Amino acid sequence: MDLKRKLSRLTSAGPGSQARAPVNAVAVAPVVETPAEVARIPPAEEAGTTTLAEVLVQTLRKRMSMDEAPPADVPAQEAARAEGLVDLREEARRRFAAKRGEAVEPGASDPRVESLRQMLAFWAERQGTASARKAVAPVPEPRALPVEARSTPHGTVHVAEQLYAPDHRHGTAPVAAALDVEARLVAGLALHPELESVDFTRMLMLDTETTGLAGGTGTVPFLVGLGWFEGRALRVQQLFLRRMGEEAPMLRLLAERMASSSCLVTYNGKSFDWPLLRTRFVLNRVPVPRELPHLDLLHCARRVFKHRGEGARLVHLESKVLGHHRVGDVDGSLIPELYFRFLRGTDGSELVPVLEHNQKDLLLLAALLGDLVRRFQSEGTERQDPRDLLGFAQVAERAGDSERALTFAKAAAESGGPVGIEALVLASRLCRRAGDCETAAAHLQRALTFAKPGQGAMLHLSLTKLYEHSLKDLPRALYHARLAAPVELPDDHQLRLERLERRLSRQGA
């Protein structure tokens, strides 16, 4: 209910209804606002009585007879009118209380009236503040879109280029560190054996900005960002689509760059960027280039950082892992609309942040690749997050690198808690595969010291199996079996206990 209707309910019963007022209040006529309505009401002298309605009419007549300029701010005018009605109602309440001989306490007021006064004051203050803020808001200066038309044998392509020096850093990570990665480690980190033979000095980083996130034939990549190394400097080239229907030259230039590259490096490119570009090649009748080995860092990041529980969004990893915080970055969900507004005739100033956003994504790809591989070399594990160490250990185990996995698992176990328990279970599994069952049991025993009461039943079950089948220590196996009841079916648990007890009795005999 808006403010005027609240005031009307307090100051009038409304046409054709009975007033719902306290004992010390009276029913009043509807609020009138126009001169014609006021003229039709007789003066108070002719009625011979004094009512709240007459007080309202006299006040309105007096206001309409005054030669005042109307306020410039309509909401402020409404607030002033409402404040006047509140004052009139308070005056009428006092007058009728005096006529009936009731005592009126000085300063006494209806709580509802006081509440309305506060609302009106807050409203007027907000309107004034908003008007002042609107009056001084700076108007952004238009900026030219930093792309230039470049003639190619296939047609004109609009390009933006920038070269980053070899010592350029993105957050805490040097961008050129991507050149120093070992293909063997990259293949293990990505769980992609095909990458072992790749020359990463000729990699091509790729990131697109599109007219939508759903994919399909209706989605167009209007900005294709490419990055490659020249020596140890990183060149970033952005191919921009100034209008629809001019994709073919841009796609042919992309195909030429891919032909001179050894692999693609993307973030979610296997699921989105490359399938979309391949569709655009087909729709524009441009030969699809030979597919390159593809390193998708999203898959690596999900496996390594999954224990953080914070997702694997690229900008999030940029701040949490590399320590780079973007200021004034454009929201990715707004990018399609900004491009459509450009197509409808606005200048290119709104798309400048989009090009900057794309450049930072390409720098981040190089920096993240170098940082992940450096960490995966098992150097400086004491300075890493235990959750990341556990992630690296699990990746190394899946890659078949047991020695590296055990190193990471032992380092992660130092943190204790749930991460330490999981790391020790992994270390126990690795030792058992290697035939070192004593050490495997020791890791599980240590994990029990980290478990809270009631949480070690699964560890007891693992120790039961280890002692019974590998170490042939039946008394210890029976001890742990009795503590593993919460994680076994009752019948299975009973059968295990009976079997161990029979074997022990035979040994004693």
Backbone angles phi, psi at 164, to 5 degrees: -105, 135
Triad 304, 309, 315: Cα angle to 5°: 75
pLDDT of the residue at 492:
94
Supply the pLDDT for residue 30: 45
Over the stretch 112-134, which tens digit does the pLDDT of each residue have? 666 766 777 776 666 665 555 44
Tell whether the torsion through CA atoms of 371, 374, 377 and 382 is positive or negative.
negative
For residue 18 the two structure tokens come to: 């009975």
Which residue, 433, 395, 403, 428, is CA-closest to 413? 428
Give pLDDT, residue 48.
Answer: 46
Q: What is the pTM of this model?
A: 0.70
Residue 229's pLDDT is 97
At how many degrees (to 10) do helices 74-99 and 111-136 cross? Answer: 160
- What SS3 string covers 149-173? EEEECCEEEEEEEEEECCCCEECCE
Residues of the chain with pLDDT under 70: 1-114, 116-117, 123-143, 215, 379-380, 508-509
pLDDT of residue 145: 85
Q: What is the pLDDT of residue 99?
A: 63
pLDDT number for residue 47: 43
Distance CA 308, CA 371 (A): 17
pLDDT of residue 56: 52
Amino acid identity, residue 423? A
Q: How far apart are CA 3 and CA 99, in angstroms?
A: 31
> What is the predicted pLDDT for the residue at 461?
95
DSSP 196-234: GG--GGGEEEEEEEES-SS-STT--EEEEEEEEEETTEE
Q: What percent of the chain has pLDDT over 90?
A: 59
Average model confidence (pLDDT) across the chain: 82
